[in-house]
Structure 1
Amino acid sequence: MEEESSMETKVIYIGAENIVSPLGNTAEDNFEEIRKGKSALSLHSEDGFSCPYGKILNYDLLPELTKLESLMVHSIQSSLAQLNRDLEDSRTLLILSTTKGDIEHLAKGDVEKSKPTHLLEQVKSHLALKCSHTTISNACISGVLACIHGQDLIKQGAYDHVVVVGADLVSEFTYRGFESFFALSELPCRPFDQDRTGLSLGEGVATVVMSKDNRVYLKKPLAFLGGASANDANHISGPSREGEGLFRAITEAMKQASTTSDQIDFVNAHGTATRYNDDMESIAFHRARLESKAINSFKGYYGHTLGAAGVLELVLSMHSMRNDTLIKSLGFENEGTAKPLNVIADNESKEIRTVLKTASGFGGCNAAAILQKI
């Protein structure tokens, strides 16, 4: 029995997922909306921004909490409600994935409140869970990297359970930053399409629970087989033109997962709709022998949700697996990358057993993770 128990701990499970976005407050609602082709991207002229983005408008503002704090509390509580027992505080870690936290406090001159540690403390004060916490902030791979870090900690025996919440809102700081790069599209973004003109931004909060014990979940979880990150050290904002970092991350993730490219059924790419990112990804996928695999980006539905993106898109990929449905890459019509890809142009029913999720970000960072049905 001891040997059997030891074998079971080698599998890290992921489930109890939630998404709060402009398209809904549950993962199920969000998946149904994108399956119908609905996009959250629209103009919000009252903010003074000239490009469309995904803005969360319907939410309950909790007493003494900010918008971001309130959304995080809702998302985490929704995920914890999908467990059949309370998690032990001393054996649980809460990880926040974000690129900038609640940076709006800086506009009021409050540096301390703008720190992620304050954000987490505020959120935890409204949760029954009183566990340890930490923050992963590594540009736009933060969400995927947080899940990889959670997997590693569980495998090492440091924790039995890890709750990962990805959260970011659109702010003047973020908008003007991307605008200075001439990276924003005046129309909803079109990942991998030949007529793409840049990215769109979006708001989102998403949560998953990772565990060594599949019995904590009310609904059958998926297996988090492995993940890896790599930095191509190319440029502060431009990725390697050869996709070196992403290629290395994918290769190492497949090695950890004991998986080959032939076994991958579906790839959810980063797909920002910027020229350099999409071309880089196409090259990396070719190098990893994944060019024939069904590939999509969810950015056309939500925009780039930054620190939330990796978690949000992992959750949507999980629901693609649960529903055996490939979701079209919204905005894609004509092939337009350096190397051709099998981009999903229409929703399709297909058995999906194994999924590769990738992410890339400023500073040359890249991450890849592999999920599989149990």
Structure 2
Amino acid sequence: MDIRLLDYQSTTAAGQNIHQLRVAIDSQASGLRLNDLDRSDIDTWIGRVSGIEDIDLGPWQSRNNALAALGYQQGSIQENIDKLVSLYGAARLGVVMGSSTSSIDRTESAYLELEDGQLSSEYQQPQVHNPNAPSLFMTHLSGIRGPSMTINTACSSSAKVFATGARWLESGVVDAVLVGGVDTLCLSVLHGFDSLQLVAKNQCMPLDQNRDGINLGEASGFAILVKPDEKHQDSGITLLGYGESSDAYHMSHPHPEGLGARLSMQQALTMANLNASQIDYINLHGTSSRANDLIEGKLIESMFSSNTQVSSTKAWMGHTLGAAGITEALIAVDALQRGVIPGSLNLNELDHELSLSVQSANMSRNMNFVMSNSFGFGGNNCTLAFGKSGEKT
């Protein structure tokens, strides 16, 4: 498979765009803040993106859509989509979005302000109170008129957008695909995870012996996927392979032996025609929960050599749920581009049951191949493998 990334951008609490994210990573400056979400009194840290509240979208108004709009305006994503629409026609471009909550934040507000048991006119937004809202909004914003869909497989949602986008390109349905992910903080999410006793009082510490749970965050991310073509210059990064699996083991707990996670990693390696020893860096799902980090860490130890460096980057922006897949895939891609592996922030003492090649400090390293893991509730797993374009596998 040879699917190129034409462009990519990320918007998180750690940085509004890729440039700001690089600065945060290089300075190891976390974007987490003490919980200040309206109507929430949970003692925790969150990865909240500033300025979303000031974005007015009229009939499309929701926090989720506002963050998607903010992310789409970063860098040259919008400019490149406009060029591709001119080149191929709007019907030959597709949109695949990933989200776990869509615009549930807006629905929460609507129910808080019911008038005689009915939605007020301000909240009568059928295209917003909709599981497919992210895709509907992005087709509206971008002018893309080809196939569109929203994937909701919990925390693997926006990793799977790469797999779907690649299949569309390889089948000839489209000539380019805008893939993205967006999820925003809301009461349903924050208090839901707190009810599962997964939310940490401290800043999260992925892989650390003393980790006590996760921090939640919000993010949007976008990438443009194309086939190699002399008509446009890509970023020099290729999506080489992907793996998708479903444990169907438990609603919220990962399979104790990581069965589906192992399958997704092996599938990605096989499709990419790579041996595990060739992978230079893996961005782990690494949520900072006791179960996730231990199970994923044990799998990495059994499948990869000590030459493969790993880290979790969730302490920079929190666990961004449906946007985590694309956020962390793009961090891995950017690490490949820059030759800088992010450390595992807040790691002081590695879990005593693990012996991974991980450190808290960043590492400079020339790399050829990287991977990113995303494992969601219900056992929905996705692994992505990327390489430098032209690099032999």
5+ long unaligned stretches in structure 2: 112-123
Deviates more, 1:117-126 or 1:351-360: 117-126
| Distance in 2 (alpha carbons) for counterparts of 1:217 and 1:198 | 44
Q: Report what 1:58 is aligned to.
A: 51
Give the letter aligned to residue 43 of structure 2.
S
User: Is contact 1:247-1:287 (8 Å) kept?
Assistant: no
Which whole-Å deviations, capped at 9, do the CAs of 1:101-136 have from their partners, x for residues lacking one? Answer: 000232214683321334433343333333331011
Which residue of the other structure, out of 274, 282, 286, is the alignment partner of 1:267?
A: 282
| SS of equivalent to 1:151 | helix
Cα–Cα, structure 1 residues 191 and 215, in superposed 2: closer, same or farther, change >3 Å?
A: farther
Counterparts of 1:207 and 1:92, CA distance in 2: 14
Count the aligned residue pairs: 365
Deviates more, 1:57-66 or 1:294-303: 57-66
Q: Matched residues in 2 for 1:126 and 1:164: separation?
A: 14
Whether 2:53 is the aligned partner of 1:35: answer no
Give yes or no for contact 2:240–2:271 (8 Å, CA) kept in 1.
yes
Distance of 1:270 and 1:28 partners within structure 2: 23
Residues 1:95 and 2:96 aligned together? yes
Q: 1:5 is matched with which residue?
A: none
Deviations 1:302-331 (A, max 9, x none): 100011111011111111111101111101
For residue 210 of structure 1, report the CA deviation from its aligned partner. 0.7
In structure 2, do the counterparts of structure 1 residues 135 and 337 end up closer, same or farther at CA, with 3 Å as the change threshold? farther
1:152 match: 167
CA–CA distance in structure 2, aligned partners of residues 94 and 217 of structure 1: 19
Cα 1:143–1:337 change in 2 (3 A) is farther
Name the CA shift for 1:244/1:290 in 2 (closer, same or farther; >3 Å): farther
Partner Cα distance (2:148, 2:382) in 1 = 22
Q: Distance in 2 between matches of 1:93 and 1:266?
A: 30
Equivalent residue runs for 1:88-237 within 5 Å: 88-107=89-108, 108-109=110-111, 112=126, 113-215=128-230, 217-218=232-233, 220-237=235-252
* Per-residue Cα deviation, 1:160-210 (whole angstroms, up to 9, x for no partner): 211111000011000111001100000110000001000000010010111
Q: 3-state DSSP class of the match of 1:130?
A: coil
- Using the TM superposition, give the Cα deviation of residue 245 of structure 1 relative to its aligned residue in structure 2, in angstroms: 1.0
Task: Name the amino acid aligned to 2:55.
Answer: L
Q: Contact 2:94 / 2:176 at 8 angstroms: preserved in 1?
A: yes
1:70 corresponds in structure 2 to 66
Q: Is contact 1:164-1:209 (8 Å) kept? A: yes
Deviation of the 1:93 alpha carbon: 1.0
**CA-CA distance at 1:221 after TM superposition:** 3.1
Q: Percent identity of the aligned residues?
A: 24
- Alignment-mate amino acid for residue 25 of structure 2: I
> Which amino acid is 2:63 matched to?
K
Instruction: Find out whether 1:313 has 2:313 as its counterpart.
Output: no
> TM-score normalized by structure 2?
0.88
Report how far residue 291 of structure 1 moved.
5.0
Partner of 2:363: 348
Q: Aligned partner of 2:106: which letter?
A: H
* TM-score in terms of structure 1 length: 0.92
SS in 1 for 2:141: coil
Moved more, 113-122 or 197-206: 113-122
Superposition RMSD on alpha carbons, in Å?
2.0
Q: Secondary structure at the match of 2:322?
A: helix
Change (3 A) 1:366 1:176: same
Unaligned 5+ segments in structure 1 are: 1-9
**Equivalences for residues 353-372 of structure 1 within 5 A:** 353-372=368-387
Distance 1:356 1:340, change over 3 A: same
Q: Is the 8 A contact 2:15 2:31 kept in 1?
A: no
Preserved CA contact (<8 Å) 2:63 2:106: no
CA apart distance, 1:94? 0.5
Q: What are the Cα deviations for residues 66-95 of structure 1, in whole angstroms up to 9, with x where unaligned?
A: 332122123234413246822332221101
Partner of 1:73: helix, strand, or coil? helix
Using the TM superposition, give the Cα deviation of residue 57 of structure 1 relative to its aligned residue in structure 2, in angstroms: 1.3
